[in-house]
Amino acid sequence: MKKINVAICSFGMSGKLFHAPFIDVHPGFEIYAVWERSKKEAKEIYPAVLSCNNLNDLLQDDAIELIVVNTPNATHYDFTKRALLAGKHVIVEKPFTVTLQEAEELVELAGKVQRKLSVYHNRRWDSDFKTVKKVLASGVLGNIVDVEFHFDRYKKDPSPKVHKEFAAPGAGVLHDLGSHLIDSALQLFGKPSAVFGDLRKVRPVTQINDHMDVILFYPQMRIRLKSGYLAKEPVPSFIIHGVNGSFLKPRTDIQELELQQGKIPGGAGWGKEPDEEKGFLHYEMQDGKVFKEKIGSESGNYMEYYNGIYNAIVDDAPLPVTANEGLWVMKIIDAVLESNRQKKIIEL
């Protein structure tokens, strides 16, 4: 099996939990280098790794084929552009970029240099999202008329990560948790015809918009995307109403917790939610029979994303998340920002 040498641009939470463990376990990848500015922690976990002091060390090393850009949002455009120009394939963390124009430039550049460019929308491989997708595909709900997705947290105090709370382009709940919600909506229901967005600062300690309420308009349906940092008792994260019934599902993927506990991806029971976190399905058949049942969750597995990346690089298979899909998330974000500014619905 061909080995692909990978460099990771940051070894904070994202690098330690969401990338390195999967790259390390995958037989087709090698954690070759990590860019560490101050703390040198990667070598303690992966003794063979090359610890670099700057980005140029990664870009100039011909042994590196794939670079993971998992640095603060404001750096995504510059670092991804430099990596593509250096001839590297790139995985860039969400949000793809800060602005729509930056995303468009990177999509065009990746095509010109013929390198693979993918956005790490890993929530497509969460157990809860996969379960919602399965229920929708079954068709039992009939035509969908109303949808509400939540990604809520309870954090009264500002994040210790300065770049997450400082009032700068790309900071705030829309680019952060909102990216996940938008991608989920696009994957399940396609592109909307119009967007309305309302952004607020709810916590008195913050400088960023920490509450969002977005409506996506479809011909026969509306999707509301909500996220905030003051939800002490969150509602179901997936609420779907169709002409035949409803499905409610909490956000309960356990992969992040398993990674924090040091578990190895792909082990026995990996990504399997507890039974008490099942979704609730309530629907009516054409003959009038009513069904109410708990739906067991699909297993989450972020390794499916990295399997797709490997196959795309080695066999030119379709990317698990394309740059154009990341671009569409940025189009929605751009429309939400404009809607919030003008206080009106924005046609797409």
Q: Quick one: what percent of the chain has pLDDT higher than 90?
A: 87
Tell me: pLDDT of 181 over 70. yes
The class of domain 4-120 in CATH terms is alpha beta
Q: Which residues pair with 67 in a beta bridge?
A: 7, 90
Domain ranges for the chain:
4-120, 123-300+332-347
At 119 the pLDDT is 98
Q: Distance (Å, rounded) from C-alpha 108 to C-alpha 131?
A: 34
Tell me: pLDDT of 163 over 70. no
194's tokens:
């119009």
At 280 the pLDDT is 97
Cα separations (Å) of 181 from 76, 178, 332?
A: 20, 5, 11
The whole-model pTM stands at: 0.95
- Bridging pattern class, strands 144-150 and 238-242: antiparallel
Q: Distance (Å, rounded) from C-alpha 39 to C-alpha 29?
A: 24
Tell me: pLDDT of 267 over 90. no
At 158 the pLDDT is 75
Q: Which of 296, 321, 245 is nearest to 128 (CA)?
A: 296
At 207 the pLDDT is 85
At 268 the pLDDT is 87
Confidence band of 50 (pLDDT split at 50, 70, 90)? very high
159: helix, strand or coil: coil
Q: Distance (Å, rounded) from C-alpha 63 to C-alpha 4?
A: 9
In this structure, which topology does domain 123-300+332-347 adopt according to CATH?
Answer: Dihydrodipicolinate Reductase; domain 2 (3.30.360)
Average pLDDT of the chain is 95
- E strand map for the chain: 4-8, 29-35, 50-52, 66-69, 89-93, 117-120, 144-150, 194-200, 211-218, 221-228, 238-242, 245-249, 279-284, 290-295, 346-347
At 205 the pLDDT is 83
Alpha carbon 164 to its chain centroid, in Å, reads 16
At 162 the pLDDT is 62
Mean pLDDT of 259-273: 93
**110-124, 152-166, 198-212, range with the lowest pLDDT:** 152-166
**Number of CB atoms found within 10 A of residue 161's CB:** 11
Which helix or strand (DSSP H or E) is residue 186 part of? helix 177-189
At 169 the pLDDT is 83
Tell me: pLDDT of 160 over 90. no
Confidence band of 159 (pLDDT split at 50, 70, 90)? confident
Cα separations (Å) of 158 from 72, 154, 155, 231, 260?
A: 16, 11, 7, 15, 22
Question: What would the pLDDT profile of 286-320 be if each residue is shown by its tens digit?
Answer: 888 999 999 999 999 999 999 999 999 999 999 99
Tell me: pLDDT of 345 over 70. yes
**140-144, 283-287, 338-342, range with the lowest pLDDT:** 283-287
**79-88, 151-160, 232-241, range with the lowest pLDDT:** 151-160
**14-23, 150-159, 265-274, 333-342, range with the lowest pLDDT:** 150-159
At 199 the pLDDT is 97
In one letter, which amino acid is 202? V
Q: Which of 30, 24, 66 is nearest to 45 (CA)?
A: 24
In one letter, which amino acid is 327? L
At 286 the pLDDT is 83
Mean pLDDT of 58-86: 97
At 204 the pLDDT is 86
The tally of CA atoms less than 13 A away on the side-chain side of residue 158 is 17
Tell me: pLDDT of 283 over 70. yes
Mean pLDDT of 30-45: 91
5, 30 contact by CB (below 8 A) = yes
